Each structure stands twice: as structure tokens, then as C-alpha cells.
Amino acid sequence: MTDITHNDFNKNFLWGVATAAAQIEGAHNVDGRGISIWDSFAKRQGKIQNGHTPYHACCFYYRYKDDLLLAKALGFTVFRFSISWSRIFPEGKGKANKEGVAFYHRLIDECLKLELIPFVTLYHWDLPYALEKEGGWTSVFFIQWFKHYVNFCAKEYGDKVKHWIVLNEPMGFTSLGYMLGKHAPGKTGLTNFLPAVYNATLAQAEGGNIIRSLIQKAYIGTSFSCSEIIPHTPNQKDIDAANRIDVLLNRLFIEPALGLGLPEDDFPLMEKIHFHSKSWRNKTKFQFDFDFIGIQNYFPLTIRHNSLIPYVSASEVKAKARKVPHTAMGWEINPDSFYNVIKRFSAYDPAKDILITENGACFKDILSHGVVEDAARISYYQQYLTAMHLAIKEGIPVKGYFAWTLLDNFEWAEGYNARFGLIHVDFVTQLRTIKKSGYWWRDFLTHKI
Ligand code: BGC
């Protein structure tokens, strides 16, 4: 097999690097910003590894010009970032904070100056804490707050920004934040999860509608966490367990967005979701004609039947236990499953463009004498790009790919221990060092390989 090269892709293909506000910006209490659920969650003991906080992160708020230059130097032509809702609306609603608004103007202007397409995510997990105190994603008022925020962003930035992602991985923040309590705001149980799922599904469609109505020539999508779900054995019980997890992880948010309604599969959790609100029956309420579907894929999951787990009777058999290649987070490295995910999501009707809005890997990088030798990450990207290319050759309309991520950053509950960046960050000095994988991307994108 010959190595994948840039020439294998269409010249209009979008090559981006993705980031998120809470993971890089820092400056959490500066220039009028209100605190977010992650700032307050970090105060709760034992929630984030080593007691890390997102308060300073990569100081991107101050260093954005240099960091954009780095993205540009690596050859990327698209920069994905998210807007911190509480920087714009410190109270989540009401009056906008001028200085916060101005920051994103500066950031967008700098992207445009460098000829980096600004690709904006409206919500990447950092809800204003003020709104959380009123119920956050579970509140009956949530959609009202969200619409107000999206309206404002679309009007304010719509002349300059044409590429929009409404939500980042709704399954991620509703399950980890409102069911399992592992992420902010740390809520648990179905009484929180069900309304959060409902509001997130509605927010996808409402966000899309607002951007469409306010911004001419907008290219609009929303992103989903997608994983191939593989039954541990051919045993029917494992197959059924895998199917239940598939409904939740892969289908719960995309199908309503496409106008297909909630997945109809019959198991206890789906029944609860169906019964939660009569409005689910009105399929058009949750539908929006997105221009693209954002796929975020990192790993497949191997699932077995496990009657001890409530509602789904299923659990994961970890990559480590199965002795298959995995990253430092224990996530299986499996480019074939990436290919399968792309094929599967592109098969939905109505067909949409596909964008890989995140893909990348975390390894135990060591900075030694100014160098980070991360051959494993280079190999990961080569394998995953090759798999994506195979899907494109078969006619799948994948229009872009975003590497996760530019800088080592605040990796949510893992704190600063999990490094995904193409650029190493020393979190004491804020020194940036381009990793070998960063140089690999530069060579790839500037056609040297
Ligand atoms: C999230 C990112 C996160 C990455 C790696 C994605 O689910 O969107 O914010 O850092 O995975 O865990």
C-alpha cells in the first residue's frame, strides 16, 4: 500500500484543525466573561483528574494570533473554534458583553486575514453557569435562551462567518453531563437526561433554522459522535446489546434531525424517551435541512450483554482487555471502523455532505530536547486518512476533514493529562512545540508527501 498524499484528494477538499473554547481559551474571568459549567464543575473535588481546572488552559484568548499562525504554518486552510456562550452573555441571556463579542470579531478577522476559513461551533459543552442554576439543558426555558444566543451570534458574525456547526456531539454532553455525572454539570439520572436529550434535539433544528434565516449563503451542519458498534460474540444476546447501544450512540440525535423521528427500537430506555414528551411525535419539529452532517469518530466499541447495567443491559469490552491496538485513552485504533462509519452515515436519506469534524488520537507524548517524537499519532492519521480516502473513491461525498486538535489542551475530565495536539503545550510556561505529527501534517498539506 502506498502512503496517502494530498494529491489523492480533490482541490476543494476542506482541511481543517478543530478546537473548542473551554479547552483552549483560558481567561475565564477576564473582560466581563461569566463562568461556565466547566469552571464551576472544576471546583468539585475528584471530578477532574489531578484537580486541574480550565481557568487558564492554553491562554488562547491572549495568544490566538500566534496560534492561528501555527495552524496556518501547518498548512491548514480551515480553523474550527467554538464561541463561549458565557463570554458573550455572562448571565446566559440578557445583555451582551461587549468585550466578549469583540474578542470573536478579532479572532474571525485574524482568520480571514490569514485566509483560514472560520468554522464556528455554537455550542461545545460550556453552558453559562448562570443558566445551569436555572436548570440548564433540562429547563423548559432552555430553547428560548438558546435561540436568543444563536440569533445574536448569527446577526453579529454572519457577514464574516458562513460555516456553522450548531452543536458539538449532543450524545456526549447529555450522557456524560446529565446522565452519568462524569462531565459538567455533573447531573445524573433519567430525570435530567430525558429533558436534556429533548432540548438538545430541538436545539439542533432551531439553531439551523435561525442561521438559515439570518445568514445568506450559510453552510450549516451539526456534529455527532459516531462509533461502529461491534457485538463481542455472534451470540444473539450480544448482538441485541450492541443494537441497543447503537440506537443510543449513533441514531438518537441524527434521525430526528433528518426528519426520521426517534428510533423506534423497543427497549426500556427508548420507551422512557418516547414517553417523556408527546412532542416527539411531531417529527418536523426536530428536523432541519442541514447542508452537511458532521461526523466525529475516534474508535469503535465492542459491546456485550450485561444484565447488571440498567436500561441497556450492555457494557463495553475494552480494547486493552481484547489486546488490540489502542491510544493512551484506551480507545481502539481501527481505521476500518472509521470507513464503516462514513459509509453508514452517508447512506441516510436525505443524503447530505459529510464532513469529518473531528478525528485524532491521544498518546503519552514526551518532550525531549525540544522534540516530540509521536510516530504513533502520524501512523494513526495515515491510516484514518487512507480509510476516508477509500470511502471517497467509492463516491461518498466527504467534503472535509478536521484533525483534533491544534494544541494539547484541557481534555475535560482528564484535565491536561491527555494530549491530543499536533502542537505540544507546556502548561506552566505556555511554550508551544510542534510535534513530529504537526510537521507530518505540514508536509502532507503542502504537498511534500
Ligand atoms: C470532543 C472534544 C474532545 C475529543 C477527545 C470529542 O468528543 O468534541 O472536545 O476533546 O472528543 O476526547
Residue 426 corresponds to which amino acid? Answer: D
Q: Which residues contact 160 (CB under 8 A, 6 or more apart)?
A: 105, 108, 109, 112, 118
To 10 degrees, the CA torsion angle through 412, 354, 319, 193? 50
Q: So what's the pLDDT on residue 174? A: 98
Q: So what's the pLDDT on residue 378? A: 98
For ligand 1, say whether the CB of 313 is within 6 Å of any of its atoms: no
For ligand 1, say whether the CB of 408 is within 6 Å of any of its atoms: no
Q: Which residues contact 266 (CB under 8 A, 6 or more apart)?
A: none
| 156 assigned to active site | no
Q: So what's the pLDDT on residue 2? A: 66
Which region, left, alpha or beta, applies to residue 17 given φ > 0 means left and ψ of -120 to 50 means alpha? beta
What distance in angstroms lies between residue 327's CA and the mean position of ligand 1's atoms? 14
> 98: burial class by Cβ within 10 Å (0-12, 13-18, 19+)?
exposed
For ligand 1, say whether the CB of 358 is within 6 Å of any of its atoms: yes
- Contact, 362 vs 412, CB < 8 A? no
| Nearest alpha carbon, ligand 1 atom 9 | 20
| Nearest alpha carbon, ligand 1 atom 12 | 411
Handedness of CA 83, 257, 223, 193 (dihedral sign): positive
| Nearest alpha carbon, ligand 1 atom 10 | 411
Q: So what's the pLDDT on residue 1? A: 54
For ligand 1, say whether the CB of 415 is within 6 Å of any of its atoms: no
* For ligand 1, mutation pick of 36, 182, 298, 404 (most atoms within 8 Å of CB): 404
Q: Could you identify the atom of ligand 1 that is nearest to the CA of residue 298? A: 11
- Contact, 23 vs 54, CB < 8 A? yes
| Nearest alpha carbon, ligand 1 atom 3 | 411
For ligand 1, say whether the CB of 231 is within 6 Å of any of its atoms: no
- Contact, 421 vs 408, CB < 8 A? yes
Q: So what's the pLDDT on residue 82? A: 99
Q: Could you identify the atom of ligand 1 that is nearest to the CA of residue 329? A: 12
Each residue's pLDDT, cut to its tens digit, for the chain (449 residues) gives 568 999 999 999 999 999 999 999 999 999 999 999 999 999 999 999 999 999 999 999 999 999 999 999 999 999 999 999 999 999 999 999 999 999 999 999 999 999 999 999 999 999 999 999 999 999 999 999 999 999 999 999 999 999 999 999 999 999 999 999 999 999 999 999 999 999 999 999 999 999 999 999 999 999 999 999 999 999 999 999 999 999 999 999 999 999 999 998 889 999 999 999 999 999 999 999 999 999 999 999 999 999 999 999 999 999 999 999 999 999 999 999 999 999 999 999 988 999 999 999 999 999 999 999 999 999 999 999 999 999 999 999 999 999 999 999 999 999 999 999 999 999 999 999 999 999 999 999 998 87
How much is the pTM? Answer: 0.98
For ligand 1, say whether the CB of 38 is within 6 Å of any of its atoms: no
Q: So what's the pLDDT on residue 449? A: 77
- Contact, 362 vs 327, CB < 8 A? yes
Return the CA Rg of the chain: 21
What distance in angstroms lies between residue 287's CA and the mean position of ligand 1's atoms? 25
Task: List, in sequence order, the alpha helices (H) in 31-97.
Answer: 37-41, 60-73, 85-88
What distance in angstroms lies between residue 360's CA and the mean position of ligand 1's atoms? 9
Q: So what's the pLDDT on residue 3? A: 87
What distance in angstroms lies between residue 60's CA and the mean position of ligand 1's atoms? 18
What distance in angstroms lies between residue 19's CA and the mean position of ligand 1's atoms? 9
For ligand 1, say whether the CB of 168 is within 6 Å of any of its atoms: yes
For ligand 1, say whether the CB of 255 is within 6 Å of any of its atoms: no
| 271 assigned to active site | no
- Render pLDDT for 359-386 as a digit per residue (tens, 0 to 9): 999 999 999 999 999 999 999 999 999 9
Q: So what's the pLDDT on residue 447? A: 84
For ligand 1, say whether the CB of 18 is within 6 Å of any of its atoms: no
What distance in angstroms lies between residue 235's CA and the mean position of ligand 1's atoms? 32
Q: So what's the pLDDT on residue 153? A: 99
Q: Could you identify the atom of ligand 1 that is nearest to the CA of residue 225? A: 7
What distance in angstroms lies between residue 282's CA and the mean position of ligand 1's atoms? 31
* For ligand 1, mutation pick of 165, 358, 363 (most atoms within 8 Å of CB): 358
Which one of the listed residues 25, 169, 206, 411 is annotated catalytic?
169
* Structural domains of the chain sorted by starting position, each given as residue range(s) with its CATH number in brackets: 6-445 (3.20.20.80)
For ligand 1, say whether the CB of 54 is within 6 Å of any of its atoms: no
Cα–Cα dist 23/65, whole Å? 17
Packing angle of the helix pair 190-214, 170-178 (nearest 10 deg): 150
